[in-house]
Structure 1
């Protein structure tokens, strides 16, 4: 009996080894399949990226009066790297100089084909802006030096049910805000995503 039991032991080790190797291969295959599906799904639902530029700027003359009448246009470039056509609506743009609002607009609704780009021309509305003495001096200085820049904020309303358009760390609201600093006449500047604010 001792000899029979001893003869079975060498045969059980290769079986265990084959089972372990098979389990490792199956685990690797399943892992690769899951990663591949995730990459494929993210490429399909890849959100567009946005860039802006200020194409025309007029009405900025702080030397004549503390009240300026800004008048400028903005172009929004939308790059869709996904494999689906995407459409956006309810986007607003606000332009700041310092902490003063100098322009705003509702962006026309638009669609972008798969793996393509589009430019959206946005005519900004404005009102007379009364500058503080500090901002008036700063504006005059930046106009002379060519360092004038504005902060452009874009607000996007995320439709209910479109949670794949927002990351887990800021998906607690229905709005997202993107900011950039843009100089008049400068080429397109990419916008950076900010944490969103909750909308009741």
Structure 2
């Protein structure tokens, strides 16, 4: 009937229905607001997806290490030792979204709290759902041992009870500050028994 108004909803997702009796400019303005809201929501969704895909991974990589060989630990010939170690490091990245990267790192090998050898880790990235393996060669030159520590090393070696501690620090590639908390991405410790194996010539070089 004349004078009757009808309300038409254009979408269940529309913020508000459009009044067909609005003047043309009002209807255009309302449609423009609705279109802007849709574009804004779509842009926000895109930004969220990009942020998730580009942000650093929060999943920790899985590290393992093998003591492949060592030499130069004969503490019976003098108060110093010049050891060298061959360490095989394996890194597994469980993330399906991000690579796991490290801006290099450091390795420290110690015995009974005394540093014996030092080494550097390479810069590397592990692809998503993948693993990487590399070799680290820490070494030390004429490391001084106290008489008590030297005797202890010889005694524990003879009893096949000597152990070394390997500490590995990975550096964060996304850190621009010099603070230790930011710079160190992960820290790992491994203990190894110094045992002589008959099938490995490199191990037999440590026989005292």
Q: Same fold (TM over 0.5)?
A: yes
SS of residue in 2 equivalent to 1:120: strand
1:150 match? 164
Cα–Cα, structure 1 residues 65 and 56, in superposed 2: closer, same or farther, change >3 Å? Answer: same
SS of residue in 2 equivalent to 1:121: strand
- What CA distance in whole angstroms lies between the structure 1 residues aligned with 2:156 and 2:105? 30
Larger Cα-atom Rg: 2
SS of residue in 2 equivalent to 1:90: strand
- What CA distance in whole angstroms lies between the structure 1 residues aligned with 2:170 and 2:115? 18
Query: Is 1:181 the counterpart of 2:191 in the alignment?
Result: yes
Flag the structure with higher helix content. Answer: 1
2:73 match? 60
Contact map agreement 1:53 1:185 (CA 8 A) in 2: no
- What CA distance in whole angstroms lies between the structure 1 residues aligned with 2:121 and 2:162? 24
- What CA distance in whole angstroms lies between the structure 2 residues aligned with 1:106 and 1:184? 22
What is the number of residues matched between the two proteins?
137
Instruction: Give the alignment's TM-score, normalised by structure 2.
Output: 0.58
CA RMSD of aligned residues (A): 2.7
Deviation at 1:110, TM superposition (A): 1.8
- What CA distance in whole angstroms lies between the structure 2 residues aligned with 1:142 and 1:185? 10
Structure 2, unmatched stretches of 5+, are 1-51, 197-208
SS of residue in 1 equivalent to 2:161: coil
Cα–Cα, structure 1 residues 125 and 63, in superposed 2: closer, same or farther, change >3 Å? Answer: closer
1:11 match? none
SS of residue in 2 equivalent to 1:142: helix
Of residues 82, 87, 100 in structure 2, which corresponds to 1:69?
82
Contact map agreement 1:148 1:184 (CA 8 A) in 2: yes
Instruction: Give the alignment's TM-score, normalised by structure 1.
Output: 0.60
1:197 match? none
Contact map agreement 2:102 2:172 (CA 8 A) in 1: no
Q: Deviations over 1:117-173 (max 9, x none)?
A: 2211011131111111121111111211222211111122224469xxxxxxxx954
Q: Which has the higher contact order (CA 8 A, sep 6+)?
A: 1
Query: Is 1:48 the counterpart of 2:58 in the alignment?
Result: no
SS of residue in 2 equivalent to 1:89: strand
1:3 match? none
Deviation at 1:105, TM superposition (A): 1.0
SS of residue in 2 equivalent to 1:108: strand
Alignment of 1:28-177 (within 5 A): 45-83=58-96, 84-160=98-174, 172-175=181-184, 176-177=186-187
